[in-house]
Structure 1
Amino acid sequence: MPRRSRVLSGTLIATALLLTSVGVGTVAANADTGTAAAPAVHAAHTAHAMAVSTAASPEDPDGDGYIPANPPVTGVTPSTKEPPHRYFHEFQANCSVSHTAPDDPVVHPGQPGKSHDHTFMGNTTTDAGSTTASLDAGDTTCLAPGDRSAYWMPTMYDGDRPVLPVGPQVIYYKAGVTDYTSVRPFPKGLRYVVGSPLQSAQQFRAHRGFVEGWECGDSFFNVEFPADCPDRQDVQVNIRFQAPSCWDGRNLDTPDHQSHMAYPVVNPGTNNNICPAGHPVALPMIEFKMAFPVNGDLSRVRLAGGASYSFHYDFFNAWDERTLKALVDHCIVGGLQCNARGHDETHPEAGAALNEHYELP
């Protein structure tokens, strides 16, 4: 996710973060493909002063923050093809909350208790010491047993009471590029952070991953928690937030946990969304759609990482490779709108990728 210099001076780290602050995807697009820069409102989508992790871990024994893919993906150029139009090309990973803990195996690997509190979904074993191997050996709260990935976000509080999503939450896997047929499965062990607890309200709103912000009832696109949230049993606070979907093909992680990934850019010749040349590998675009069981007066609601606009999340891929490939090929590449079985109710003739137990047939 070849490994760069093993020594990053403070100056180099600051420079790397400064480059990140103007948008990794935009820089790569302009320098490598000549495509137009993203709109200015999105230019700061990674300007979050993300902490650089340099702690040693089982997967990064020298502690330089780079975890190389083995093997790397080479010889890929961003696809400019335009396949037949499909309104949907996605499937869901439905995963429930398993536990909370002040751990973060991506930003603070091997350092239990160092993070603000996180709410974990998917793999039930996720903690500060989690590795690809430990997640592979773990259990999962996801409907598909093959999804042993770890998903986490800052814990929400109403005063001092944790507010935990109830039941399977919706984690979409979509095509982020126009050529949905070019999307390939995540490499095992890929991990990244979307957003930052240190982002400002403006950075949160301008983030490329911002979809509808905080919503409740008829109130949408909020940076702050909605003030007019109906006090009804059937109402919850929701958020949708999208991850970058273009990979550099070399690193499973980088010191800032973001620069190995990039958002698609617009090809000025076709107006299609393509991956930038520096991140040419199209992967599924994850979209969190979280529902928190709180409503009415939200004046005491906060996130463990800070204000409402400090929302962010982490992903650590530990899917069974055959299961993930089956879902990506059938649903994303196949242009379907699938549930967690890989079944599209509007196209029953296409069948399903998984059986009634959410496993490969």
Structure 2
Amino acid sequence: MRISEQVSLALALVAPSQAALRFGCSTLSIQRLDPIVQPGALPASHLHQIVGGNAFNATMTGDVGERGTCTTCTFSEDFSNYWTAVMFFKHPTNGTFKKVPIMQNAALPNGINGGMTIYYTQESFNSNGKAKITSFKPGFRMTVGAPSHGGSDTHTGLRFVCLDNKNTRFPELTTFPNKPCKGGIMTVHHFPSCWDGKNLDSPNHQDHMYTTTKEAFSPAGPCPASHPVRVPQVAYETLWDTTQFNNMWPKDGSNPFVLSFGDAKGYGTHADYLFGWKGDSLQRAMDNQCMFQACENGKPLKSQGVAAMNKCTVKDQVKEPIDSWLPELPGKGRFVKL
């Protein structure tokens, strides 16, 4: 081995390859509920996949972390809720819709039921950084992206990845892939990490936050005076098993996938976050230099196994068919303008 190769190997061994929190959450429920954008609506306009704590309901206020009794996430102190629109396949000849199954990330323990990979990074994917990171507060909520957005890519960090396998991460696309993907499709949602320090929400669920990140998992710039408080960089990855539809791809090459609010381009992809960590658990993690799995087993966060994650569920309040071939999208793919 050459000296240069030895040096590179040594640096790879000593340099941290993981940063902050990365963990799995199995699916809590898939139904038309949205306590942020459409609080109280039964049902909400379009279908969401929800993960996290079992306090999830059509209306949610106050300290969610104190109300949950179980969570679908690895960290058993995390009763937050995370949700995104659901992906459907539209049959090219008869126009019916089939919900695309969700598969677990290869980096997570085996057996997780669908769900998402959740990140709380402090600086980037490879460094905890040195900046003070302030935890979100009880009652905090935010969204990223907008289902009514159909024009162009204006949202940093909202991407699609055409997977060769579950470890594929690039290239990132601003729209649905234009060809069948060997390993499925991943959707990625990065939230802003600068908070105004005052408001737990805002009328459009976004103005109390500000993003200084230009690319996903890259170090963010300084927070502006209007939003001076650095909070964790929250991100979701969802892996959709589109492979069963690859031999049904339209002959004209058009994209056959559609998000549950009727978007066949992907510009309207969006995600919702509702904070629910119990007590000071998230702040303790942000004050720690642990990285990913090293934060588990009480170092400093309590964690649980896959069986407990999968066991946690909530009642289906809408009770509509979503798993068979459907003549139309649940709710007819309606969206709510933010």
Q: Fold match, TM over 0.5?
A: yes
2:172 counterpart residue number: 221
**C-alpha deviation, 1:322, in angstroms:** 2.5
What's the CA shift string for 1:35-66, capped at 9, x where partnerless? xxxxxxxxxxxxxxxxxxxxxxxxxxxxxxxx
Residue 289 of structure 1: aligned partner: 237
**How far does residue 88 in structure 1 lie from its aligned partner after superposition?**
5.1
Matched with 1:151 is 82
For 1:230-272, what per-residue CA distance to the aligned partner results, in whole angstroms no more than 9, with x for missing partners?
45xxx22112221001111111011010000001279xxxx97
Deviation at 1:220, TM superposition (A): 2.7
1:259 aligns with 2:237: no
Partner residue, 2:149: 199
Q: Does 1:124 align with 2:54?
A: yes
Q: Distance in 1 between matches of 2:220 and 2:171?
A: 27
Alignment pair present for 1:250 and 2:198: yes
1:342 alignment partner in structure 2: 295
Distance change (3 Å), C-alpha of 1:136 and 1:221: same
- Would the alpha carbon gap of residues 112 and 181 (structure 1) be closer, same or farther in structure 2, given more than 3 Å must change? same
In the superposition, relative to structure 1, how do residues 163 and 317 fare at CA in structure 2: closer, same or farther (>3 Å)? Answer: same
User: CA–CA distance in 1 between the matches of 2:65 and 2:301?
Assistant: 22
* Cα displacement string for residues 135-161 of structure 1 (whole angstroms, at most 9, x for unaligned residues): 632221111111100111111112322
- Counterparts of 1:324 and 1:287, CA distance in 2: 15
Q: State the TM-score, normalized to the length of structure 2.
A: 0.67
**CA apart distance, 1:169:** 2.3
Aligned residue runs from structure 1 range 310-321, under 5 A: 310-321=268-279
In structure 2, the gaps of 5 or more residues are 1-14, 91-96, 104-111, 250-254, 306-338
Give the Cα separation in 1 of the matches to 2:174 and 2:274.
Answer: 26
Q: Could you tell me the TM-score, scaled by structure 1's length?
A: 0.63
Q: Whole-Å Cα distance in 1 between the matches of residues 303 and 64 of structure 2?
A: 27
Deviant stretches of 4+, over 6 Å: none
Tell me, yes or no, if the aligned pair for 1:117 and 1:155 is still in contact at 8 Å.
yes
Cα distance, 1:265–1:324 mapped onto 2, change above 3 Å = closer
Greater Cα offset, 89-98 or 248-257: 89-98
Asked if structure 2 preserves the Cα contact closer than 8 Å seen for 1:192 and 1:314, the reply is yes
Q: Which structure's relative contact order is higher, taking Cα pairs within 8 Å and 6+ residues apart?
A: 2
Alignment of 1:1-361 (within 5 A): 89-133=19-63, 136-138=66-68, 139-159=70-90, 160-166=97-103, 167=112, 168-176=115-123, 180-200=130-150, 202-203=152-153, 206-210=154-158, 212-217=159-164, 220-231=171-182, 235-264=183-212, 273-295=221-243, 296=246, 297=248, 299-305=255-261, 306-307=263-264, 308-330=266-288, 334=289, 336-339=290-293, 342=295, 352-354=299-301, 357=304
Question: In the alignment, is the contact (CA less than 8 A) between 1:89 and 1:337 conserved in 2?
Answer: yes
Identity, % of aligned pairs? 26
Q: Could you tell me how far 1:215 is from its partner in structure 2?
A: 2.5
* CA spacing shift, 1:120–1:317, aligned 2, 3 Å: same
Residues 1:164 and 1:151: Cα distance change in structure 2 (over 3 Å): farther
RMSD of aligned C-alpha atoms?
A: 2.9
Q: Distance in 2 between matches of 1:190 and 1:221?
A: 29
Q: Is the 8 A contact 1:213 1:221 kept in 2?
A: yes
Quote the Cα distance in structure 2 between the aligned partners of 1:190 and 1:142.
19
8 Å Cα contact 1:248/1:280 also seen in 2: yes
Q: How many residues align?
A: 253
Give, as a single letter, the amino acid of the residue that structure 1 aligns with 2:155: H
Secondary structure of 1:182's partner? Answer: coil
Question: Which ranges in structure 1 are unaligned for 5 or more consecutive residues?
Answer: 1-84, 345-350
In the other structure, the counterpart of 1:15 is none
SS in 2 for 1:199: coil
Distance in 1 between residues matched to 2:162 and 2:220, nearest whole Å: 29
- Structure 2 SS opposite 1:251: coil
Q: Distance in 1 between matches of 2:136 and 2:80?
A: 11
The AA in structure 2 aligned to 1:338 is: F
